Chain A
Amino acid sequence: MNRGLTWFNRVSLVLGFGFLYLPILLLIIFSFNESKLVTVWGGFSTKWYGALLENQGLLDAAWVTFRVAFVSSTVATVLGLVAGLMLSRFGAFRGRVLFSGMIYAPLVMPEVITGLSLLLMFVAISFDRGFVTVTIAHITFSMCYVAVVVQSRLISFDRSIEEAAMDLGCPPGRTFLLITLPVIMPAIVSGWLLSFTLSLDDLVIASFTTGPGATTLPMKIYSQVRLGVTPEINAVSTILVGVVAMGVLVASVLAKRDEARRAQDERLAAAAP
């Protein structure tokens, strides 16, 4: 579809993206507000960011959240990669229907159910709740996202180059490391990033599965938000939004450069006698 945009198309794009971005922009703007009243502009100030540095509870929660996100996204990426390979490469294995069901269900499962069920299981096996249980919970739903991302990349992947490598005598393990892995690398990276942000973001599942000493940042934000809007929370939010936006932008720029380099390599290879 490429026939130019009508005025209706332009209006829907402007309104749609305005709707998506205006609330976040307002939140960021008011984090630099001098006044304590969130809706009255009292001049530019960064004092709320300074106040954050003195809020030990918030800093502790941020550190816990960061550790949970890092560990869970790394483990989830490994498990999700294997699961994605299983779904797209291993054909029919015993229990495949159950497996793919368990991969897709967490994507749409209400968080309250996932959180409650994991908590009840940790209680049933009398496992102490805290950092480890939150991490396990996050690995469980993140790996499903990674598996889906990896699987969709593998489906669009030209298998003939793998076969060519094996025809030339490359053993399967090496073929995987030298051919398959580099090709699906962008999917693995975006799977890791997705897991990281999902973990950074999760309130409901963490609230169910956490224990003493493992309060995460979303839980802290939530308990303060219930008391009302404060510029301090706007400042934390701005930092979080900034970190995530930077990460995503850097990743997409890197992916684009990688793509461009590969296209150039292919052109060179085609041009070579």
Chain B
Amino acid sequence: MAEPQSNRVAYVSGRTATQGRVSGLHARFMLFAPYRWFHGLLTRTGLSSRTLVILVPYLWLLLFFLAPFLIVLKISFAEVLIARPPYSSLFEMVDGTYLQLRLSLENYLLLLEDDLYWKAYLSSIRIAGISTVITLLVGYPIAYAMARAPRQWRLTLLMAVILPFWTSFLIRVYAWIGILKKEGLLNLFLMKIGLIEQPLTVLNTDIAVFIGIVYSYLPFMVLPLYANLEKMDQSLLEAASDLGCKPLKAFWKITLPLSIPGIIAGCFLVFIPAVGEFVIPDLLGGSDTLMIGKTLWAEFFNNRDWPLSSAVAVLLLLLLIVPIMIFQRVQQNQGGAG
């Protein structure tokens, strides 16, 4: 019985020592006016230090994530000016007596009238949609094979899927330029084995954009699919095979329907960021590859039209808000259930 006793003593003394140190620090800091003011503020408002800790990330996100969106919304109703900053103010004092609110719908009207923007929106959705389907078709067999692999391999395979995701996105897209260009490695290889005689034009076409998106977002598709397939109850497939079901039919009737949550998660994770993608269409796509991310970039950096690019951003966000909300719902449900 001696041992727990001495442990407790050591523990108790340890605690008092820590508390003593903390209160000593507090007393010393009270000598400084800012700390005193802050401490007074806390006690007056009844905030505990715990609440304060919570407030920091909350305020950070409010200030640097939510507030910027409201500003984008505001500037999308402004007019472009040649000034610093290059947009008009919404609020104006008239005769120094009342505040006038001036909203300009011009940017949104332009977006509706000029079919360039419509085409860019539709083309973004088309390119992202096609790429998502290809990514699913490429990713599903990989995830399926990983889930069937012997247990001792799985962690290594998982690591091997994640590793490219850690290496630079820009560099991975760049790597494809050297492969896909006219005198690139793909054409060199295909001509050497005699499959083609004239080099193919792949770079600067939509096909190159598809390849780029599939390549860059493949881990986002494979990971949720693998997580889903790995957990699947093996006995269902055994029961099916005992009852005389062929493996391919069992896959259609059992594995595929059960993996739908993984498919949905993977498709959202690929589709949503792909719609607003800038780097891939800019580096791999051609001048006729329209994507809204590229349009926004051009309006902002080349035309310096901040209000118009804000309006483009607002419409892009409206377009994505439904998939983002669904994705969040799925994500939260998984978080709560897990």
Binding site for B on A (CB under 8 A): 1-5, 8-10, 12-13, 16-17, 19-21, 23-24, 26-27, 30, 38-39, 79-80, 82-83, 86-88, 90, 93, 95, 99-106, 108-113, 116-118, 120-121, 123-124, 136-137, 139-140, 143, 147, 151-152, 155-156, 169-171, 174, 193-194, 197, 200-201, 203-204, 207-208, 218, 221-222, 225-226, 229, 233-234, 237, 240-241, 244-245, 248, 252
Contacts and interface: CB of A to CB of B under 8 A. Distances in A.
Contacts of A124: 71, 85
Given A83-B57, A137-B64, 18 more contacts: A12-B142, A20-B161, A20-B164, A24-B172, A26-B179, A27-B174, A27-B178, A30-B178, A38-B178, A82-B54, A86-B58, A102-B66, A112-B316, A118-B68, A120-B72, A139-B64, A140-B65, A197-B168
A87 B332 CA distance: 10
A50 to B, nearest CB: 20
Contacts of B185: 26, 39
A167 to B, nearest CB: 14
Contacts of A95: 58
A116 B72 contact: yes
Interface string B263-296: 0000011001101111100010000000001001
A229 B178 contact: yes
A113 B317 contact: yes
B305 to A, nearest CB: 12
A51 B62 CA distance: 45
A252 B167 CA distance: 15
Interface residues of B, number: 95
B61 A103 contact: yes
Nearest to B157: A13
A5 B53 contact: no
Interface of B: 11, 15, 18, 53-54, 56-58, 60-62, 64-69, 71-72, 75, 85, 138-139, 141-142, 144-151, 157, 159-164, 166-172, 174-179, 181, 183-185, 188, 215, 218, 222, 229-230, 232, 234, 237, 268-269, 272-273, 275-279, 283, 293, 296-297, 300-301, 306, 309-310, 313, 316-317, 320, 324, 327-328, 331-332, 335, 338
A82 B53 contact: yes
A12 B279 contact: no
B167 A2 contact: no
A26 to B, nearest CB: 6
B140 to A, nearest CB: 9
B262 to A, nearest CB: 13
Contacts of B296: 112-113, 116
B328 A241 contact: no
B52 to A, nearest CB: 11
B167 A229 contact: no
B150 A2 contact: yes
A201 B170 contact: yes
Nearest to A147: B57
Contact of A237 (B15, B60, B168, B232): B168
A5 B149 contact: yes
Contacts of A118: 64, 68
A75 B276 CA distance: 27
